[in-house]
Chains A and B, each alone.
Chain A
Amino acid sequence: MGSLFDFMLPDLKSPMTGASTDALMAFIHIVSFIILAGVTIAMIYFAIKYRRRSDDDETPLITHNNALEVTWSVIPLILVFIVFGWGYSGWLNLKSVPDNAYEIQVSAYKWGWTFSYETGAQIGNEVHVPVGRPVKLVMRSQDVIHSFFVPDYRIKQDVLPNRYTYVWFQAEEVGESQIFCTEYCGTSHSDMLAKVIVHTEEDFQNWLADQKAGGGGTPVERGENLITIQGCVTCHSVDGSDKIGPTFQGLWDNQRNFENASSQTADENYIRESILDPSAKIVEGYQNQMVSYEGRLSDDDISDIIEYIKTLEE
């Protein structure tokens, strides 16, 4: 009978975290459905059977019935105790990370996710994991509260700016699962999406080895990587299209007109200032929305980003 409500849930891809939740939801749905049907049928039956036949109808005086009151208090009480215990044990499981879990660091920001591996590899808006192995995500936010939600795994946890929180899961099949941000965080909250990409153990190790630790390569390559994993591209396009902030394309060495009617040519110092103190100069037609990257980007990082921006000509 539990399958009656299967259509409500996405396919479960991490039974270690989600099996108990699914079973509990099926139980609550079925019991609720039975009681709701009983109440509704009783209401409609009474309304028809005892419909008013004349304005002088006499009704019996029934004030209360203690046995009945006790019955319909105690039975629901037992039911909710079952539900409580079931939900509690499932939740304990969600909070108990297996010892051998593979750890990945997660950083959330407006509006994206960065995942960092023990090798130093970093990647934005995709988390690659091995199949059949518990994975623990240690999460923090760089600005406001976000929330990490993977419906396929039945896991969710708020990501806070002032402390670490964690979730774990164990994907049992190779493939992709959707990640949503579920704590409202502003303009592009609904675009703060990411994917879990599940590989076989071998593919995963190959993928990890391919990632350049610490974003190796030339400064331009490092800069390109940085603007993805730091979320710059969420608001600033590299192809000239208009987003929340001005595009990076054609920015270098161009005249910038500001809201306060002044203007300046975009050079190294202008870009540096815009990253570290974004509210100092607001380009005409845009809002003061960006938060400072002070402390999030090193001087070397900023230089790499500038080198990359230089290559984006119109």
Chain B
Amino acid sequence: MEFESGHQLKVKDSDDTVTIRDKLGEGGQGIVYRAAYRGGEYALKWFFPHALKKPREFFKNLCQNIADGAPTPSFLWPILVTEQTDGSFGYLMKLRPPAYQSFTDILNAKMRIVRHSARVNAALTIVESFLALHRQGKSYQDLNDGNFFIDPAGGDVLICDNDNVAPYGVNLGIAGKCRYMAPEVVMGEKPGMQSDYFSLAVMLFLLLFLSHPFEGEKVIKSVCLTDEHEKKHYGSDPVFIFDPSNRSNKPVRGVHNNAITLWPLYPAFLRDAFTASFTKGIRSKEARIPDSEWIRLFVRLRDEIVTCGCGCENFAGAPGAEENGEVRCLGCGAPMVRPLRLNVRKYSVALYPGNRLYACHTSKDGADFRTVTGKVVRNRNNPNLWGIRNLSGSVWYVEMPDGSRKSVVPESVLPVFRKVKIDFGNAGPAEIV
């Protein structure tokens, strides 16, 4: 029941047609083809006639999603839907560029995200996308690692398989993968915003630690994992592998190597956030971390990244790397100078050459974590002297430790010394400590 190359499909409510080129792949719900439309190349997903449990609702939802548009550019969103023929229908979307690898492959170590900054960028983008989706009043419904594609080099994310995105309460009859579902959903409750927060926490944990938060000793004690067991380990009795008060599900040497080696690398504040999500957050939905808070956490994590001379990225505040109060580079073992920090509002940005300031640091717009407003640079004549270059477009006012004041116009640099105070405009008091 596959289409031949050259087969034409009519676009709904239009005279345009879509022409099939060749098959790209196949899933449980349908087939994805490469197709031509108005001179460009796209992907077309065509559903198997009986694959959808509630086809009419699904179709309606799909059309609504197309009308609403993608929440952020990270979503590979349906562009148009075809006429219904042969008992089914399909929708058109952009092709996924080859640089993006499936998150599944990253979990299986077929591809690696090496740099912390790429990983943090991916995390921020994923959270941002959830946030945008929630703002539209919609939820994910079928979250799993197959939906996310990441460019391992920079951490850019593309979210695919968006035909299951639907408003809260609308149940399209899709069941998500157990591993990603909140415990109450595994046990039968309807998914909602707070169960999305839980799934988000699981995704982020997988991204950072390449290990599942509930898969430890307890889960491999049984030789066979039946459906009953799954319900227990993800639904009625999930235990966090790093639960400080319950070690029954701790990671197993030889099996959960990633969790064991990667967990100690991250700063305490992040580990505490995950611990809270997977201990209190299991039963208490209110204790779960919402999207906006995850963004703050990952911006804070990004502020910790310092790049050693050897090229390897480290976390300035990571306990694992510290011996005698020194941070040692994970790549080359060289001791790294403890950086000074810029404290502004809730942020404490590690000031290390290459690190950046963003709009959320230097302006009132706490949500903008992408616009670069400053960069830490090294003085060419004196490499031990560092400064912050003003890339914000407006003037900063600086008070030096000796009391003298100066203004720092855009593109010029202010020196990094302890006790320097900076006025960015309307970000509140900022000081280098």
Answer yes or no: do A and B interact: no
Which residue numbers of A lie inside 8 Å of B, CB to CB? none
